[in-house]
Amino acid sequence: MRRALIVAGVLVTGYAIAGAAGDPDLSPGGVLVFLVAVLVAHDAAVMPAAIGAGALITRWVPPDHRTPVRVAALCSAVVTVVAVPLRLGAGGLPLTRLLVVLAVVWAAAAAAIAVRAIRKHLERRAAAAGG
């Protein structure tokens, strides 16, 4: 099973390389440059920035609020990755559209934090009344 997967994978990879090299519509050098560029940009910039943002959240946000903040940060990163090319491309997406999505995402995070805080407060009061 493992050997079959690896052999099939090597064959398909060979087909991809031969096909790219033989395609008159394609400059394989340009593809290679872009492959290396996205890999380096991701490993050297995007992922370190994401991990750094995660560390900042752990450091500055109280434990009770971390999950909504982390989820909102992840959503913000994803929609930004999609919206920036749309802004720079032929469509010229208005930036306000991205800001609207970010506002909705962070409003939802704030609402989740508020709900948790209220629930905790009520629980404490119930415990105090009971005790």
Partner 1 sequence: MVRDADPGLTRWRRRRRARALLHRPLPAPPDALRRGPLRPGAFPSPLRSPRLAGLLGAALAVAFGICFVTGLISHLVQHPPAWFWWPSRPAGLYRFTQGLHVATGLATIPLLGAKLWAVTPRLYAWPPARSIAHAAERLAVAALVAAALFQVVSGVFNVARWYAPMPFFFTAGHYWVAWLAVGALLVHVGVKLPVARRADPGPRTRPGGLSRRGLFTAVGIGAGVVTAATVGQTVAPLQDLSVLAPRRPRDGPQGLPVNRTAAQAGVRAGPDHRLVVAGPGGSVTLGLADLAGLPQHTVRLPIACVEGWSATADWTGVRLRDLVALVGADPATATVDAESLQARGRYRASTVPPQHVGDPLTLVALRVNGGVLHPDHGYPARLIAPNRPGVLQTKWLARLTVRGGS
Q: By CB under 8 A, is residue 52 in contact with partner 1?
A: no
Q: By CB under 8 A, is residue 10 in contact with partner 1?
A: yes
Place of tokens 């090597």: 10
Residues 73-102 that bind partner 1 (CB under 8 A): 74-75, 77-79, 81-83, 85-86, 88-91, 93, 97-98, 100-101
Residues 6+ apart with CB under 8 A from 61: 69
Given the complex with partner 1, which of 26 and 114 has the nearer CB atom? 26
Nearer to partner 1, 6 or 122 (CB): 6
In whole angstroms, how close is the CB of 32 to partner 1 at the nearest point?
9
**Nearest-CA neighbor of 17 among 3, 7, 31, 4?**
31
Beta-carbon contacts of residue 119 (< 8 Å; ≥ 6 apart): none
Q: Which of 47, 49, 111, 118 binds partner 1 (CB under 8 A)?
A: 47
Query: What is residue 24's DSSP assignment?
Result: T
Under the phi-then-psi rule, with left for phi > 0, alpha for psi from -120 to 50, and beta for the rest, what region is 27? beta
Q: Identify whether the C-beta of residue 113 lies closer than 8 Å to the C-beta of residue 72.
A: no
Q: Site size for partner 1, by CB under 8 A?
A: 62
Q: State how far the Cα of 46 lies from the Cα of 56, in Å rounded to an integer.
A: 15
Decide whether 17 or 118 has the Cβ nearer to partner 1: 17
CB nearer to partner 1: give 18 or 125.
18
Range in contact with partner 1 (rule: CB under 8 A) among 3-11, 113-121, 122-130: 3-11
